[in-house]
Structure 1
Amino acid sequence: MFTGIIESLGIVKDLKNELNNLHITVACDFTDELKIDQSVSHNGVCLTVVNITNNEYTVTAIEETLKKTNLSELKVNDIINLERGMKLGDRLDGHIVQGHVDQTAICTNIENEEGSWKFTFKYDSKLNNITIEKGSITVNGVSLTVVDSKKDTFSVAIIPYTYEHTNFKNFKIGTEVNLEFDVIGKYVSRLMNAN
């Protein structure tokens, strides 16, 4: 379980394909605090630490994960958003994030609003995921509030702190991102679509 408050940025150091799996090696400033079997969110994808060497650790993404997320597009030296699992008793500063990406989206617009940025994303609405204005959405693991919501697009406002401390600063029009829709909204959508 995560909060969507990004703890650190990681640098992809190595990518190795093995059968249908992708082993991703990452360097970050909290590697020395990790243990094998811990969960870490990578651009919003919950993955298990399988190896630690010096200041780098490795996680494995299986075929299902690679199909639903942007992890198959990673390149060495890419910057990714990282968050370790939530501790019981800590404040929940973002919202409840499972680390289970629902689908990807494409950045279609970036507006500099003189003190903040407005990012707009388009996603495939056939998967029955929804956003609502003022509702929660997770983009590459970042807990955000939806500003504008339409059937297959939404926008979010990014403050300077979030812009500087996440990989939003590297987004361009056409950037593919991971989305995790609000868990309560997913249950409501499922109930509404049940026959």
Structure 2
Amino acid sequence: MTLIFTGLVEEMGRVISVTPGEKSIKLKIECSKVLEGAKLGDSIATNGTCLTATEIGKNYFTADCMYETVKRTNLSRLKSGDRVNLEKSLTLATPLGGHLVTGDVDCEGQLVSITREGIAKIYEIKVEARLMKYIVEKGRVTLDGASLTIVDFTQDTLSVSLIPHTQEMITLGYKSVGSYVNVEMDLIGKYVERMLSFKEPKKSKSKIDENFLMENGFF
């Protein structure tokens, strides 16, 4: 079953502990809102990464991060006390704001500049150039699990603008130049690209013909 999120951060949790394992880590996250109605095995997007709750306490949950998650996301960079964006997976009763987010991170991006523009701040993120084909002006991108609008882009950077309220509600507002964020590109763009570039394999012609049948004694 494919899980979907909206990119609307429900709360910022805090890392209680990061326990390394064999090509893996175990996270223990302090939180409250995302635990309402949550049960063991539920999915909680943590900095935009879909994680399974392996333990749920009164004010925390734990999750195991396998090697694919460790190498692709910024979760391995976390330490005790760090903030993380949290969101429970979408249900049929959940209002759909933001955009459709899978919780499958494409890459880490690095914050290269922060510029004040009136009441807002512009955050410029450097990403892998191969992924820039999914970026369009006024399109959507997910940064640490937050659905944000792209206001500008170059060959290998994208920029988003945050008002003061948003700066206080998501991790990006607390990051400094040089910090890393998890980046998930627009889901629809990926499917459109795949459909337009897909070529159905040519069916091989059958080797069974009249000559084949004669050579093998059928005639």
Query: TM tier, shorter chain?
Result: over 0.9
Equivalent in 78, 86, 96 of residue 82 of structure 2: 78
Q: Which runs of 5+ in 2 are unaligned?
A: 200-219
Moved over 6 A (4+): none
1:38-71 Cα deviation digits (max 9, x unpaired): 0000000000000123311101110001111101
User: Which segment is superposed worse, 49-58 or 137-146?
Assistant: 49-58
* CA distance in 2 between partners of 1:66 and 1:24 (Å): 11
**Which has the larger share of strand?**
1
Q: 2:27 aligns with which of 21, 24, 29?
A: 24
How far 1:169 sits from its partner (Å)?
Answer: 2.2
**Structure with higher RCO (Cα < 8 A, 6+ apart):** 1
**Which structure 1 residue ranges, 5 or more long, are not aligned?**
none
Is 1:166 paired with 2:170? yes
**2:94 aligned residue:** 90
The whole-number CA distance in structure 2 between the counterparts of 1:112 and 1:29 is 32
SS of structure 2 residue aligned to 1:66: helix
Name the TM-score, length of structure 1 as normaliser.
Answer: 0.94
Q: Partner of 1:12 in structure 2?
A: 15
Query: Which entry has the higher C-alpha Rg, 1 or 2?
Result: 2
Give the one of 188, 196, 203 matched to 1:184: 188
Give the aligned residue type for 2:27. I
Q: 1:187 Cα shift? A: 2.1
CA distance in 1, matches of 2:16, 2:179: 20
SS of match in other structure, 1:80: strand
Within a 5 Å distance, the mapping from 1:16-165 to structure 2 comes to 16-30=19-33, 31=35, 33-126=37-130, 130-165=134-169
- CA distance 1:114–1:128, shift in 2 (3 Å): closer
TM-score scaled to structure 2, two decimals? 0.84
Residues 136 and 145 in structure 1, CA contact (< 8 A), matched pair in contact too: yes
Q: What displacement does 1:73 show? A: 0.4
Measure how far apart 1:90 and its partner are.
2.7
How many percent identity over aligned positions? 36
How far off is 1:124 after superposition?
1.3
